[in-house]
Amino acid sequence: MSLSSSEEQRFSPLWRQVTSHVLVAILSIGLTLTTLWAFPNLPILGRSSLSSITTPSTTEVEAISRVRLAPRAIAPENAPPVESQKAAIRSFVSTAVNKVGPAVVRIDTERTITMRAPDPFFGDPFFREFFGDDFSRAPQEYRQRGEGSGFIVDSNGIIITNAHVVSGADSVTVTLKDGRKLKGEVRGVDEPSDLAVVKIKGKNLPVATLGNSQDLQVGDWAIAVGNPLGLDNTVTLGIISTLNRSSAQVGIPDKRLDFIQTDAAINPGNSGGPLVNEQGEVIGINTAIRADAQGIGFAIPIDKAKLIKDTLARGEKISHPYIGVRMVSLTPEQAKQINSDPNSTLAVPEVNGVLVMQVLPNSPAASAGLRRGDVITQVDEQKVTSAEQLQNLVEKSRVNQPLQLIVMRGDRTQEFTVRPGELRDAGNQ
């Protein structure tokens, strides 16, 4: 059946409208199927979901209106007070410092330095003939002042600080955070560990909480508290950069320590002050800075201080065994370089171990027969591959307790028995 031109004009818009609706439906179905194929786990809004979407009730509408009209709504009756809200958002640093700060003290010292300085006036032979040589070498004395930090570990006035802060001091003055100045008595000093204990008279004094340095990890927060450059109660923040940094690596080989390395700023006057974790617990004692490096400081692990603080407080000495050798770590590659050097005076075994560079006269190592150029590879059946490892084994030994050393001398392996001596007696030999 054919349509007239007038009928065709009347049905043409309707046909186009139907056609467009059909095309839209087909495209929608195709898009839906494509989406389900591409994202099979995509949740589909079902009747259960639709049923959860309800029209707001009259009460809800009124509540929304009240919120819009009153943006500064009154807090509920059970809301915490403003002071508690401020405390909740306070920095963990300030919280830690408030915990340890009252126990941190400033230590001022004075010591008498005696020296003989040559006088050019009395260096003339004419004056020496009349006044004598002794007059020209008259001792000169002057007072040297120093300052450092410390922290109270006992409410009766026991303070931990660095040995180099109070060693040799004629007088010690301790300033508390509240401004009180008290006379300090140096109870004990241990130079190899750079630790000292000072006693002041007092009761119910604030005490610092001691943490555990063995639990530290690289990247943990570190807060240094002290009195640098005479500026009381100064705080710096950083992280633990490295653990077990040997004293030889730090540049102070006369110490018997493995340091905590931190990038928290430690300046002159910080020495003896606490290094604190984020809980306000003391994890170390600030002790050293490197003049040739920026942003590097070192602290004595608090576990080391825990072991000896009571002994020092009683005025007793700390035992430090030694065998009397200067040594360096050795690898086969380093040994090959030494042996290939035509100017080398040593033929070094190409093994992992500890190379003896010098044997001190009258030392336990000298008595046992060790020589320069020996390579120590074992101590009491334990392999050693570094000077730090050997030093730790000797430190953990006992004076006069025999140590069995396996040594490579040239191409031969020999065994030696060394009895460690007391380090503080080494200078008297």
Q: Which residues are catalytic?
A: 164, 194, 271
Q: How far is CA 165 from CA 100, 299, 317, in A?
A: 21, 14, 18
> Where are the extended beta strands (E) located within 134-257?
140-154, 158-162, 171-175, 181-190, 195-199, 221-226, 234-246
Report how far residue 295's alpha carbon sits from residue 235's, in angstroms, rounded to the nearest whole number: 15
Quick one: tokens of 39? 């994202």
Which SS3 state, helix, strand or coil, does residue 336 take? Answer: helix
Phi and psi at 321, nearest 5°, equal -65, 150
Angle of CA points 353, 355, 360, to nearest 5°: 135
SS3 28: helix
| Cα separation values, 36 from 30, 40, 42, 417, Å | 10, 5, 7, 81
Quick one: tokens of 37?
Answer: 């194929």
Identify any residues that bridge with 237 across adjacent strands, giving them in sequence order. 223
Q: Evaluate whether 272 touches 232 at the Cβ level (below 8 Å).
A: no
Q: Residues 101, 208: contact at Cβ < 8 Å?
A: no
